[in-house]
A and B are shown apart, each in its own frame.
Chain A
Amino acid sequence: MEETVMRLMKRGAITCGGEASVREVAQIMVMNRIRYCVVVNEKHEVLGIISARSILKAFGRDLGSTKAKDILLPYTITITPSSPLSAAIDLMAKRRIEHLIVVPDRPDSRVVYGLLHGEDLIRAMAKEKEAKP
């Protein structure tokens, strides 16, 4: 049976509001040692994701007045927990991203369920072959 995203994903995500300034988002990232921050609205519905690269792109702009919602990558590239891992890897390779937002299977829901990190996949790759000699 093909492995699904469910097995390797991390539940939950660190979020920030859409009105947060870019400097705040950068601080959230540095303090939590993460590279990605999910942007949500008041109802905790996903608006998009901010990566270290998006912050990099904002270099030179006023960090205090630029809002998170101005620089986020819109909520488009997502995956569900039941999709196969190969689909997730294809998506990552094609879009050159390292993290995917995992959303529930229900089509109407926009709540963030977790994140699938490239690091988790690498860890699985490193372990995999040891298990079966």
Chain B
Amino acid sequence: MTRVCDLMHRGVLYCFPDDSAKTVAEMMATNQIRSVAVVDETGEVWGSVSMLDLLRLYGKDLENTQAQQIMRPYKIEVDPQWPVEKAIELMKKRKIEHLLIIDPHAGPKRPVGILTDFDIVRYMSDVELGVYEQMLKMLPE
């Protein structure tokens, strides 16, 4: 059985609730990601800002908008030990493309990883992780 923790990305990029939308946009652009977790000083997750939330602000004042104003609150709790099928059903039903995975053993809700729809596509395509990198190595210089 494949579990959520086998497919998810470990490590979450996060910002603080009072960071500006500009900062979030820079994080997304430089790291080439599509969602950033919003975490307070104690490490507890408040929510996440996705690319679509941020796109709505295009042309508006990014400096004076805080991350907590545009984030989606964290509601859907996913345990890393769940079978993948359960997480996929959840993503299908709620029409979301990211699931934030929290550490079930820590007291505060500490994010440990992210499961994106792209991870699921990779799982379904049967392409081994790292095949792409190996192909690049095989190319002549």
Please give the distance in Å from B115's CB to the nearest CB on chain A.
11
Query: Which A residues from 66 to 113 make CB contacts under 8 A with B?
Result: 85-86, 89, 92-93, 96, 98
- Chain B interface size, as a band, is 35 or more
Q: Are B132 and A89 in contact (CB under 8 A)?
A: no
Please give the distance in Å from B63's CB to the nearest CB on chain A.
7
Q: Give the residue of B30, B58, B88, B127 whose beta carbon is less than 8 angstroms from that of A56.
A: B88
Complex Cα–Cα for A82 and B97 (A): 30
Complex Cα–Cα for A58 and B123 (A): 13
Q: Give the residue of A56, A86, A98 whose beta carbon is less than 8 angstroms from that of B59.
A: A86
Which chain A residues lie closer than 8 Å to B126 at the CB level? Answer: 23, 27
Q: Are A121 and B58 in contact (CB under 8 A)?
A: yes
* Max chain B C-beta neighbours (<10 A), residue from A53, A57, A60: A53
Given contacts A89-B55, A98-B51, contact A23 B117 (CB under 8 A): no
Given contacts A55-B120, A122-B25, A125-B54, contact A30 B95 (CB under 8 A): no
Which chain B residues lie closer than 8 Å to A93 at the CB level? Answer: 52, 55-56
Q: Are A122 and B118 in contact (CB under 8 A)?
A: no
**Chain A residue with the shortest CB-CB distance to B124:** A26
Q: Are A23 and B124 in contact (CB under 8 A)?
A: yes
Q: Are A129 and B91 in contact (CB under 8 A)?
A: no
Please give the distance in Å from B75's CB to the nearest CB on chain A.
18
Q: Are B54 and A92 in contact (CB under 8 A)?
A: no
* Max chain B C-beta neighbours (<10 A), residue from A35, A126, A127: A126
Contacts across chains A and B counted by CB atoms under 8 Å:
107
Q: Are A125 and B120 in contact (CB under 8 A)?
A: no
User: How many chain A residues have a CB neighbour from B under 8 Å?
Assistant: 34
**Chain B residue with the shortest CB-CB distance to A93:** B56
Complex Cα–Cα for A119 and B55 (A): 9
Given contacts A89-B55, A93-B55, A129-B62, contact A56 B92 (CB under 8 A): yes
Please give the distance in Å from A59's CB to the nearest CB on chain B.
5
Q: Are A30 and B122 in contact (CB under 8 A)?
A: yes
Interface string of B43-61 (1 = CB under 8 A from A): 0000000011011111100
Which chain B residues lie closer than 8 Å to A57 at the CB level? Answer: 92
* Max chain B C-beta neighbours (<10 A), residue from A29, A56, A89, A92: A56
- What residues of chain B have their CB less than 8 Å away from a CB belonging to chain A? 22, 25-26, 28-30, 32, 34, 51-52, 54-59, 62-63, 85, 88, 91-92, 95, 97, 116-118, 120-122, 124-127, 131-132, 135
- What residues of chain A have their CB less than 8 Å away from a CB belonging to chain B? 22-23, 26-27, 29-31, 33, 35, 52-53, 55-60, 63, 85-86, 89, 92-93, 96, 98, 118-119, 121-123, 125-127, 129
